[in-house]
Amino acid sequence: MYEVRILTIFPEIFDSFLGFGNPARAILARLLNVEPVDLRQFALDRHHSTDDYPYGGGAGMVMKPEPLVRGIKHLRANMFSPRVVLMTPQGRLFKQADAQELAGADSLALVCGRYEGIDERVRSFVDDEISVGDYVLSGGETAAMVVIDAISRLIPGVLGTDSRTDGDSFYDGLLEYPQYTRPREFEGLEVPSVLLEGDHAKIRRWRKQQALARTLARRPELLGRRTLDPSEIELLEEIRSETINGES
C-alpha cells in the first residue's frame, strides 16, 4: 500500500478531496492510504502557534521552524523511508515524469506552507521542493492535492484493466490526441472518418500525428525535451509541410 502523509494546519480541507475520483478509488481498494497530519500538535506553546512575525519586518506572517521540523521528524520516525517534499512556488515545476518518479517511492510526506511562506531553515530538513505552477495559491494544500491525484492514477490497479495512462497528455512528452464519442455528428461537427473505419494501424498513426500537431501548435517546447523516433520525425515533416502549404 502506498502511504502518504500531509503536514498541514488545515487537515479537514482534504476530507472532500479524498472522497472522490482516483484517490478515493485507490483508498477503497486499499492501494493507497492518505492521512493529513495536524501541524498544530507539534507547536511548542499552549496556543499551538505555527506562525510569527518575520525578522526584518514586512507584511504577513511566516511559518515557524519548530512545529514544521518536529512534524517532519515525527513523519520520518513513523513512516517507511518517506520522501519528504515541501510544496512551494520556489520548487521545481511538477511534471508527469515527477509523478511517475514519486509513484515509485516507498512513501511520501507532503509539507504544506501557508501565509507568506516558511522559515528558510526548514528547507534543510526536506528531500525535495515542488511547485505545481507559476501562480500564487493560499497554501500548499491545493498543490498537495494535485500531486496526490497525479500519483494515485499511476498506482497499479487503480484505473482498472480497461483503462490506460499511456495516451494521456504528457505521458510520453506530448499533448493528448483529440477524443470523440457519439453522436457522429454534432451541430455540424463530425467525427473524423479515420476513427470510424476500424483500421487500427491508421488510427494509431492519426492519433500520433494529431498529438504531434497539437503539441507543436500549443506547447512546442515539449518537443525540444523529447527524443523523436524516425516515424515521428516523418510525421512532423508532413505536419510542417501541410502548414506551409496551407498558409501559402
The residue annotated as part of the active site, out of 168, 172, 237, 238, is 168
Contact assessment for residue 139 and residue 113, using Cβ atoms and an 8 Å cutoff: yes
Dihedral sign of CA atoms 90, 37, 141, 172 in order: positive
**Is residue 38 flagged as an active site residue?**
no
SS3 94: coil
Query: For residues 54 and 80, is the Cβ–Cβ distance under 8 A?
Result: no
Beta bridge partners of 83: 108
CA–CA gap between residue 5 and residue 45 (Å, rounded)? 24
Cβ proximity of 108 and 72 under 8 Å: no
According to DSSP, the β-strands at 189-190 and 128-131 are unpaired
Q: Is 156 a catalytic residue?
A: no
Catalytic pick from 5, 67, 89, 119?
89
Per the annotation, the verdict on 89 as an active-site residue is yes
The one catalytic residue in 35, 45, 116, 242 is 116
Task: Report which secondary-structure segment, H or E, holds 185.
Answer: strand 185-186
Please say whether the beta carbons of 1 and 34 come within 8 A.
Answer: no
Active site residue 114: no
Catalytic residues: 89, 116, 153, 168
